[in-house]
Chain A
Amino acid sequence: MRVKYFGLFVLLAALLARSAPAVAHHGAASFDTTVEITLKGTVTEWTWFNPHCFLKFDVKGDAGAVKTWAVEAGNPTDMTKRGWSRNSFKPGDQVTVTLQPVKTGAPVGRIRTVVLASGQEFK
């Protein structure tokens, strides 16, 4: 009986699962999809734009130099399905961003996850 209930639980979970397509207007050719890096920084701008939302944030280096990163997410429609909104981030927010960087070494990438200081996670 217990196994039966577990099966039902799995079925319920599957029915409730909400997946959103991670479709972009461009492919992954410019990004190093084999690498994920995690950075802590301070949000300077969050744009809720087509074709991609993007987050800009400042990261302090060891010597105190600040580097500004710009990382893209999906479009507002798809991000809405995933629980993101135009109010997800505001300037001054402390964030931990996991991203796939571009191959050129520029401080640009694709967002994998963003975690706010409160622990709220966006992915």
Chain B
Amino acid sequence: MPMRKLLATLVAAAALLPGVLHAQGQWNVPGATNAELKAAPSGPAPRRDLTGVWDAGGAGIGGSGQADEREKARAPFTKLGEEMFQQNKPGNGPRMAPVADINDPLSTIGDPSGFPRLLTFELRPFQVVHTPNQVLMLYMFEHRWRVIWTDGRPLPKEPDPRWYGYSVGRWEDDTTFIVETVGLDDRTWLDNSGYPHSTSLKVTERYQRIAQNTLELTVTIDDPLVYTKPWLARNRLPLKLMPPGTDLMEMIPSASESQAYTRFISSQTKPK
């Protein structure tokens, strides 16, 4: 084999190697690294099918850089929205509080992340399952699931609020799946920066499968009581398809673990 061809083969093999790390049958996968996501092989998008485990890598998790981006994307608060925002003491974002002052209901007392925070912060890998009348989304973070009804039912008119709301979905075209969600509990935050929402919030998710291994997610926040206009909390976030047989880790922020962390770490950071 000529040297040039040999080297090209080695480079190609190295590019594929990270994918091999998550080969079929591997247990307890924490999600792909960014390098692995870039190396994922691809082909044309299938028709009306989101089946598989999807991972946005570091971009899904949402660090301080993303908090800055979301602050730029956020629509102005209404008067009520500003008042609600002032009550929240987040661990990230433009109003980042000292560790001991944080009142994030997820990280300090083990409340559910809720929806749509599950998409804006700690969007770890999740699996999509199609049934004849539903799309199920099974999330590694919190080991949580959502049911998205595709049987044509309308959204409920005056629903009792739920942590994860009520969702219906439809195919806009062969590769674009639209989900609308209402009836969301206002105890949850929109993201790690402490952005609030009311029970009037309506969230629209747009999943566009642009290739066999790539899905783009756009999330629109529409809450006229809290924000002066709709805005995008995610804008074409790329998600990559994980190999078949990927067994995801549990990542459950339990109340007892939150309490232990508060006792041994965060309470010790408070000035005496």
Residues of A within 8 A of B (CB): 5, 8, 11-12, 14-27, 29-31, 47, 49-52, 54, 56, 70, 72, 75-78, 80-81, 102-104, 106-108
Contacts and interface: CB of A to CB of B under 8 A. Distances in A.
Contacts, number: 122
A49 B251 contact: no
Interface residues of B, number: 52
B35 A19 contact: yes
Contacts of A23: 58, 61-63
A119 to B, nearest CB: 25
Contacts of A51: 107, 253, 257-258, 261
Contact of B260 (A5, A24, A25, A47): A47
A26 B140 CA distance: 20
Given A23-B63, A70-B264, A72-B265, 11 more contacts: A20-B33, A26-B91, A27-B96, A29-B96, A47-B260, A50-B258, A51-B107, A51-B258, A51-B261, A80-B30, A102-B268
Contacts of B157: none
Contact of A29 (B99, B252, B265): B99
A49 B265 CA distance: 12
Contact of B269 (A50, A76, A106): A106
B5 interface: no
Given A50-B253, A51-B258, A16 B264 contact: no
B270 interface: yes
B251 A8 contact: no
Contacts of A24: 91
B252 A16 contact: no
B102 A26 contact: yes
B10 interface: yes
